[in-house]
Amino acid sequence: MKTKLLYIEDDREIASWVREDLQERGYEVVWLESGEGATEAAADCSLVILDVMLPGLDGFTVGQRLKKEHPAVPIVMLSARTSIDDKLHGLDFADDYVTKPFHPDELAARIEVQLRKAGTVVSSDAVLKMDHLSIYEQDNRIINEQTGEEIVLSGKQFHIFAYLLRHIGMIRTKEQIYEAVWNEPYLEGDKTLMVHIRHLREKLEMDPANPAIIQTVRGVGYRVKKP
């Protein structure tokens, strides 16, 4: 069963990409554009992601009501309001406060932390088998089954591989990968991604010179093959 999240956000563009990203990470997402009906919707959700600037009741008021009705459900606030007063106001009842703009990996990591604190069981039984690798997606672990050793990736290597896994079997351009991982525009001719891919292959591939897992699609970009 998927972990269900309640996401309250009135900006449809932001809501679309956040919801899509979380769904790709394996969550079920219930989306509301205002706080209306939030108390009822939160009843069977494991966590609430709550924007501050909402039509009608603001996020602070909605969050206080949610915490009163569902004290065990963690609340992660999202806001472009970065003053210390706003953060302290939010953290009076919320479990975390994330300022906009934010990277989707940061939001996902903060959600996972709150779910662990709340004791929400996230199954670690799901294993993606890929050649000699066993990838425990929920635990962020990669095991080389031939040696029995865990493969430790650097931060950027992990984010690149995680992004490709979320789009497994699909070709991603250099621009798409770079902008998703570095959260800034890709400059034509920049070799940064290429260097990280090379180091990633050195850790993951049986034969880095002839990669079988992270495939190059010449003139386009990269993809992780489907098992």
User: Tell me: the pLDDT tens digits for 73-96?
Assistant: 999 999 888 888 888 988 999 999
pTM check: above 0.75: no
Q: Please tell me the distance from the alpha carbon of residue 127 to that of residue 104, in angstroms, as a whole number.
A: 23
Range picked from 63-72, 135-144, 146-155 for highest mean pLDDT: 63-72
Tell me: pLDDT of 138 over 80.
no
Note the pLDDT tens digit of each residue in 106-133. Answer: 898 889 889 888 776 444 445 788 889 9
Tell me: pLDDT of 102 over 50.
yes
User: Is the model more confident about 84 or about 8?
Assistant: 8
What pLDDT is attached to residue 215? 94
Model confidence at 1, pLDDT cuts 50, 70, 90, reads low
38, 42, 47, 51 alpha-carbon torsion, rounded to 10°: 0
Q: Produce one character per residue of 119-141: b if its CB has 16 or more CB atoms within 10 Å, e if not.
A: eeeeeeeeeeebeebebebeeee
Q: Say how many CA atoms lie within 13 Å of 140 toward its Cβ.
A: 15
Pairing of strands 149-150, 141-144: antiparallel
Mean pLDDT of 23-50: 93
Mean pLDDT of 141-145: 89
> Helices (DSSP H) in 46-191: which residue ranges?
59-69, 84-91, 104-117, 155-166, 174-182
- Please give the order of strands across the beta sheet that includes 172-173: 172-173, 221-224, 214-217
Query: What is each CA distance from 45 to 3, 10, 23, 130, 214, in whole angstroms?
Result: 8, 19, 14, 32, 36
Q: Which SS3 state, helix, strand or coil, does residue 142 take?
A: strand
Q: Please tell me the distance from the alpha carbon of residue 108 to that of residue 91, in angstroms, as a whole number.
A: 19
Q: Name, in order, each residue with C-beta under 8 angstroms of 18's C-beta and a sequence gap of 6 or more.
A: 7, 9, 49, 104, 107
Strand-pair partners of 49: 7, 76
What pLDDT is attached to residue 137? 67
**Chain-wide mean pLDDT for the chain?**
89
Q: Please tell me the distance from the alpha carbon of residue 188 to that of residue 167, in angstroms, as a whole number.
A: 23
